[in-house]
Copies of this chain bind each other. A is one copy, B any other.
Amino acid sequence: MHPITSFSELTKHLQNTNERKHLVVVNPSDVQTFEAVLRAVDAGLVHATMLGDSKHYDMAFIEAHPMLEFIECKDLKAASERAVAMVKAGDGDILMKGLVNTDVLLKAILSKEHGLVPYGNVVTFIAAMEIPSYPKLLFMSDPAVIPAPNLRQRTAMIEYAVRMTGNFGIARPKIALLHGTEKPNPKLNFMDDYLHIIQEARKGVFGDAIVDGPLDIFLALNPELGSIKQVNTPIQGDADVVIFPGFEAANVFYKTVITFAGAEMGGILFGTDKPVVMTSRSDTAASKFNSIALAGIF
């Protein structure tokens, strides 16, 4: 399999599988989510079940559409629980958040009895970014869910990234553990985590992945400026995945490439039984569509 290097290639790849996934969406009553769902339906990627209050929708349109289904729910808590239950029961491949408070949907997802998280699993967010000035998709973790990851959570992030890149046809993903500088600083509490993860990677715990760090953005993603530092790293400005020390830096990164470098992104929750498209209000329809495509590869 050729590596998938852009969102349009991802869409084509999914179209070639000729298999529609079943998308279950909680309250897609905002224009961006609704448009993204329709685009995914029209592209042949999914058929969709929408849950919410019918008064927010053009029900004639939905009822007439062979690939759309609607389930009336009394409120968004009920819609969230019903959607999670459907996916859990196997009647749904992808769960998606529409205009619903993250807390409400997350509570249903994380419910011990009725939720989507196997006991002990780390739930974290992984995003794919298409940056016009970067030659391939860049995966990153975690800009949204875990503020200050611990070793177990960082390890899970790497495992998930390896699975994700594997599905994209990247046999030997280059995974950069980021930090402000490339100099190991024992005063920073995540440094021990990084060193441990790299040791594990050398033992083959993460398969064929190349894991190195601490690296700064230049060493991880900028072959030209990175090489000036003369640091010996197998990543050499060509990372497939960047793992951030914490949520702050990760969040700054993705919002910066969107704002100043014309990046497009998609992202999903990982660690759940089935992929969850957990977008935010400021995501465009394009990025919500990309997120559905990303979820569709599992």
Contacts and interface: CB of A to CB of B under 8 A. Distances in A.
Interface of A: 131, 133-134, 143, 147, 178-181, 187-188, 216-218, 221-222, 225-226, 228-229, 244-253, 255-263, 281-282, 284
Copies in the complex: 2
Most buried by B among A180, A252, A261: A252
B180 A228 contact: no
A210 to B, nearest CB: 20
B258 A260 contact: no
Contact of A248 (B134, B225, B248, B263): B248
Contact of A259 (B218, B244, B258): B218
Contacts of A260: 131, 133-134, 221, 257, 260-261, 263
B143 A255 contact: no
B257 A225 contact: no
A244 B255 contact: no
Contacts of A258: 218, 222, 225
A180 B256 contact: no
Given A143-B180, A257-B256, A229 B281 contact: yes
Nearest to A230: B281
Given A147-B188, A252-B249, A222 B180 contact: no
A273 to B, nearest CB: 27
A282 B255 CA distance: 24
Contact of A228 (B131, B216, B244, B282): B282
B252 A252 contact: yes
Contacts of A262: 133
A127 to B, nearest CB: 13
B178 A252 contact: yes
A174 to B, nearest CB: 16
- Which 6 pairs show the lowest CB-CB distances between chains A and B? A217-B255, A180-B251, A260-B261, A222-B259, A249-B249, A248-B249
Nearest to A245: B248
